[in-house]
Amino acid sequence: MCVIKQDPPPVADHRSDELFLMSSIWSPVAVIGLYLYFVKCVGPRHMKNRPAYELNGVMKAYNLTQILCSVYMLLYSLKAGWAFKYKWLCEPVDYSFTASSIDVVRCVWTYMMIKLLDLVDTVFFVLRKKAAHTSFLHVYHHAIVFFGAWCCTKYVPGGHGTFIGPVNAFVHIVMYTYYFVTATWPEYRKSLWWKKYITQLQLAQFLIVTLHSSTVLFMDDSCKYPKPLAAFLAVQNGFMFILFAEFYVKSYRRKIK
């Protein structure tokens, strides 16, 4: 039987205080507030009587930037821990001031900054008048992932939960490569057979992270990674798996019929 024991309330990790956006909880709250205000109010109102912006050149530059950031994140997270140092079943957070632990803090912060960049996705959807893409799934996913990444950087920068870093980076390399190709050569959009497999890859990501986070819950007290946080990561990624699975069924099964 799995019993989740309550650990002491998390204490802010001051090693990240000097990093951008990390000095106060109000920083991510303000970012998310402005994001939601633009996506749901200012943006749609601004675009109501205007034609959609093309943004083709901007989109290509953005997609290429995302590819480069994701490659960097994948290599950084592997070097910082997951390639050689971290244990797969349970890895505690190292709160020391060694060079390697500080490197992990910066790696987690880098992941958060990439999630901040991800918010621009929605801004482009609004400016291109693609309202169908600004769904609850899309907006919730972007907002909660950014806020969760900020909390991890502030309180638990390292350890078991950082497994999502290399997994997500790999998925984003594939996803933004597809976006870059279709933006650069739109004539090949219909011939790219692997579009639906991107959603399948995202589903695999959520399932893998859910299972990986859950391993902590079945470990004894020798596992020092916070079990409540592991439970949250498992539940959150499980919830995202359900939402993306529903989207996948609606999008692709309907086309088959």
Evaluate whether 16 touches 153 at the Cβ level (below 8 Å): yes
Cα separation of 100 and 38, whole Å?
39
Q: Judge whether residue 4 has pLDDT over 50.
A: no
Q: What pLDDT shows up at residue 84?
A: 84
Task: Please tell me what DSSP assigns to residue 88.
Answer: S
- Report, as residue numbers or ranges, the catalytic residues: 141
What's the CA gap between 85 and 79, in Å, rounded?
9
Average pLDDT, the chain: 90
Looking at 52-56, 186-190, 231-235, which range is the least confident one? Answer: 186-190
Q: What is the pLDDT of residue 133?
A: 85
Q: What's residue 83's pLDDT? A: 87
For the segment 32-52, the average pLDDT, to the nearest whole number, is 95
pLDDT band at 254 (very low <50, low <70, confident <90, very high): low
Q: What is the pTM of this model?
A: 0.90
Q: What is the DSSP letter of 79?
A: I
Provide the residue ranges of all domains of the chain, joining segments of one domain with +.
Answer: 27-38+55-256
Per-residue pLDDT of 73-131, as tens digits, reads 999 999 988 888 899 999 999 999 999 999 999 999 999 999 999 999 999 999 999 98
Report pLDDT for 32: 98
pLDDT in tens, 147-180: 999 999 999 999 999 999 999 999 999 999 999 9
